[in-house]
């Protein structure tokens, strides 16, 4: 039977790391890659639940995840974020699929809960994530520092059981995270040579809102969907473009 490590990237997550690791008690190994700047009880709680905690300097998510792949002591690694939970049914399916010899990686569908409400439209479901990775046949693209991309040396498959994601519990948490992503995304576009234009401050958010609210049926989530699609359009359309323009100006 194939052995499986559940790996978690963590840092100052003492309030949620326990529930995360407890949901993955089915794993053969629990591995926590700890941001070395973490200053709370995350490491202590993780070790108390039987996890192996390995501190590592955080540079970007791709490097952190590649480091985790190097630390796994089993044939397979299933990545779990600290605000995610597995279910017993998902654990059983992961074990079954890991025994099959064909695939180098498996995608898992994810159910997102935003502000306490499951979000089924606007691009938030089924939200497949490539998380079950055969060690030695998977690595993260170092050029993608955020919203990481897995490079597989072999075929891939899709799981049926769901991963549960307590995405953002409050609006304030959501806004803080989007502000962080705005800077990262703008810097990625800067490196890619994207040239922003003043008209993009209007056209980009409108295009993103139309895509999420109309084409991806965000309207089916009611007021919740309208608010969410509007905020995402603002941050990934207007705010990213504005930040990119300022970075371009600073370079000139």
Instruction: Give all domains of the chain, ordered by start, each with its CATH number.
Output: 4-167 (3.90.550.10), 170-251 (no CATH)
The confidence band for 1, taking pLDDT boundaries of 50, 70 and 90, is confident
Q: Which of 138, 153, 5 is nearest to 80 (CA)?
A: 5
pLDDT in tens, 87-109: 999 999 999 999 987 899 999 99
What average pLDDT does range 1-9 have in this prediction?
95
Stretch (H or E) spanning 95: helix 88-98
Identify the pLDDT of residue 145: 67
- 62-89 b/e (C-beta count within 10 Å ≥ 16 → b): bbbbbbbbebbebebbbbbbbbbbbeee
Indicate the average pLDDT of the chain. Answer: 95
Q: Which of 239, 109, 105 is nearest to 175 (CA)?
A: 239
Query: How many whole angstroms separate alpha carbon 116 and alpha carbon 170?
Result: 8
In sequence order, the 6+-apart residues with CB closer than 8 A to the CB of 88 are 26
The confidence band for 188, taking pLDDT boundaries of 50, 70 and 90, is confident
Query: How many whole angstroms separate alpha carbon 148 and alpha carbon 153?
Result: 16
Q: Is the pLDDT reported for residue 241 higher than 80?
A: yes
Identify the pLDDT of residue 252: 78
Under a CB-based contact definition with an 8 Å cutoff, are residues 168 and 116 in contact?
no
The confidence band for 184, taking pLDDT boundaries of 50, 70 and 90, is confident
Q: Is the pLDDT reported for residue 180 higher than 90?
A: no
């Amino acid at each position: 039977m194939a052995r499986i490590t559940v790996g978690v990237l963590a840092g100052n997550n003492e309030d949620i790391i326990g529930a995360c690791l407890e949901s993955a008690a089915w794993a053969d190994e629990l591995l926590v890659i700890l941001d070395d700047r973490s200053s709370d009880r995350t490491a202590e709680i993780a070790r108390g639940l039987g996890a192996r905690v390995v501190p590592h300097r955080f540079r970007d998510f791709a490097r952190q995840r590649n480091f985790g792949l190097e630390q796994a002591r089993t044939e397979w690694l299933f990545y779990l974020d600290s605000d995610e939970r597995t279910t017993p049914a998902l654990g059983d399916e992961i074990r079954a699929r890991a025994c099959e010899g064909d695939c180098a990686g498996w995608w898992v569908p994810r159910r997102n809960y935003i502000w306490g409400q499951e979000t089924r439209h606007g691009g938030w479901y089924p939200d497949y994530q490539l998380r079950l990775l055969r060690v030695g046949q998977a690595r993260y693209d170092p050029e993608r520092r955020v919203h990481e991309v897995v490079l597989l040396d072999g075929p891939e498959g899709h799981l049926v059981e769901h991963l549960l994601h307590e995405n953002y519990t409050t609006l304030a948490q959501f806004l803080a995270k989007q502000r962080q992503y705005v800077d990262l995304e703008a810097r990625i576009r800067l490196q890619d040579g994207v040239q922003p234009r003043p008209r993009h401050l209007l056209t980009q958010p409108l295009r993103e809102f139309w895509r999420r609210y109309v084409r991806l049926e965000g309207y089916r989530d009611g007021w919740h969907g309208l608010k969410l699609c509007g905020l995402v359009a603002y941050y990934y359309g207007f705010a990213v473009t504005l930040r990119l323009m300022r970075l371009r100006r600073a370079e000139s």
